[in-house]
Amino acid sequence: MKKIISVLLPVFLVVTVLTFTGCSSTTTTSTSSTTSSSTTVPVQNLTSPMVTNFSPENGATGVPVNQSISVTFTLALNPSSVDSSTFTLMQGTTPVEGTVSYYGNTALFKPLTDLSKDTLYTALVSSSVMDLAGNNLPEAISWTFTTGEVDTIAPYVVSTIPSFTSNFPVDPNNPFADNSNVPVNDSIIAFFNEAMDPSTINTNTFILMQGTTPVAGTVNFDGFETAIFTPSSNLSQNTGYTATITTGATCLGGNTLVQNFVWSFTTGPAQTTVPMVVSMIPASNATNVATNSSIVATFSEGINPMTINGSSFTLMQGTTLIPGTVSFDGVNTAVFDPLANLDSGTTYTVTITSDVTDLGGIHMASNVTWSFTTGQGLIVSPTVASTDPTDGATGVAANNPITITFSEAINPTSIVFTLQQDNTAVIPGTITFDPTFTIVTFTPSIALSSNTMYTASVSGWDLGSYGMATKTWSFTTAP
């Protein structure tokens, strides 16, 4: 997609067959941007495996030289079809030596040595890759990225479901129980600040305990930033549980968590409501939609991220499947981003299938389908129109949420927001959006310190991944 959770792609190549051009993007630490153009896309079989995400993203710059390369598919693959002959990395015409492994739906290429700095690399996945039913990838794919420096920064947990409320990083010796009435049939989710090594996200590094008793369950990983622990059976009601992400969890650069991340919650009754799609952008029957627009669906409740992918969220033009990638904001909003601009003056149909489930495993009652028609124009680059508190503000209330207003709708999965005290400690919190996706609100999970300066930083791409808005500002809390 042009924007993948926190990453984008500008050029998507179907090797020897087709070239896509889209909008460029960055890793969470670097920025670049180009203009996209529309192309014709091939018909694809909905039952065939498709690439849903990869890291680094296409066109990324400043990629750490010690980072592994990962690609995630919509379907489980035949592991024997994923090896060093079907997943390769090239520096010009020279193959890069490395090992290929496969975990869940994610393939991982680990170079044997650090890559060269400031160098363009091309990753390739062959169409010989196939799913468990023997269906091949419809076309070979390729994407590029440029390296930067060595990654030495430790990954950390950004947020969780159930949420946590504590100083950050969490003190492993002081788990807390601030959350109550968590449905006994819910899964437990942890969101990381960067792409993680899928081989290190498992039941050894993501643990759920009831007192001193381990809870049986399975751990799934989206191949990038989201890990989910699903208990083998419903939890006990009115009972306290403690979840832990251990220091065995490692990012793609090989760095581990500094310390165990621990949080606790108390259960309530089971979740029984059926999830629904409550809003969509573009709206049903919308006209004159920008040709570089993404499609956004908001659900009535928290959704299991593992059920939002290129199979359950699709875009069609007639009988032609439009290639794209699907991202999720970690709560209740999913975004489909076409790999290339849509054709102007054309009607497209979106479908979200009943394969989508909430955190309790309850499926949508039926498929949801709507259509829209494109116009002639492109979405223009966004800007940060205003913030509250404003830059340089003083006497700000310690419990004051931070609001950012953009000049246009923003892709919710592209938002990167940090709040720091004295440019050091990162403040945890939650991000919410208004229905138009133009207003973003950050609510700290802890009260801010009095008479203290805080620095906020935000970045986000528009729905067409045409441009990124960024802003950094500071304010001081009241005495």
Residues 406 and 459: beta-carbon distance below 8 Å = no
3-state secondary structure of 120: strand
Confidence of residue 293 (pLDDT cuts 50, 70, 90): confident
Report the C-alpha gap between 211 and 213 in whole angstroms: 6
Task: For each of the domains in the chain, give its residue range(s) and CATH number, in order of start.
Answer: 11-147 (2.60.40.1220), 157-268 (2.60.40.1220), 277-374 (2.60.40.1220), 384-477 (2.60.40.1220)
* pLDDT tens string 256-267: 999 999 988 889
* pLDDT tens string 26-46: 333 322 222 222 222 233 344
Q: Which of 268, 271, 270, 272 is nearest to 239 (CA)?
A: 268
Least confidently predicted of 9-13, 278-282, 299-303, 362-366: 9-13
- Report the pLDDT value the prediction gives residue 370, as an integer from 0 to 100: 96
3-state secondary structure of 294: coil
Q: Which of 185, 175, 260 is nearest to 212 (CA)?
A: 175
Q: Which of 130, 125, 129 is nearest to 141 (CA)?
A: 125
Give the rounded distance of the alpha carbon of 289 from its chain centre.
24
* pLDDT tens string 333-385: 888 888 788 999 999 999 999 999 998 889 999 999 999 999 987 777 788 99
- Report the pLDDT value the prediction gives residue 40, as an integer from 0 to 100: 28
Radius of gyration of the chain (CA): 22
Phi-psi region of 248 (alpha: psi -120 to 50; beta: other; left: phi over 0): alpha
- Report the pLDDT value the prediction gives residue 31, as an integer from 0 to 100: 28
Report the C-alpha gap between 37 and 23 in whole angstroms: 9
Q: Which two tokens stand for residue 288?
A: 């004159």
Percent of the chain with pLDDT over 70: 85
- Report the pLDDT value the prediction gives residue 476, as an integer from 0 to 100: 92
- pTM (predicted TM-score): 0.68
Least confidently predicted of 2-16, 183-197, 325-339: 2-16
CB-based contacts of 319, cutoff 8 Å, min separation 6: 43
Residues 49 and 77: beta-carbon distance below 8 Å = yes
Highest mean pLDDT among 7-11, 324-328, 386-390, 428-432: 386-390
In this prediction, residues 134-152 reach a mean pLDDT of 89
3-state secondary structure of 81: helix
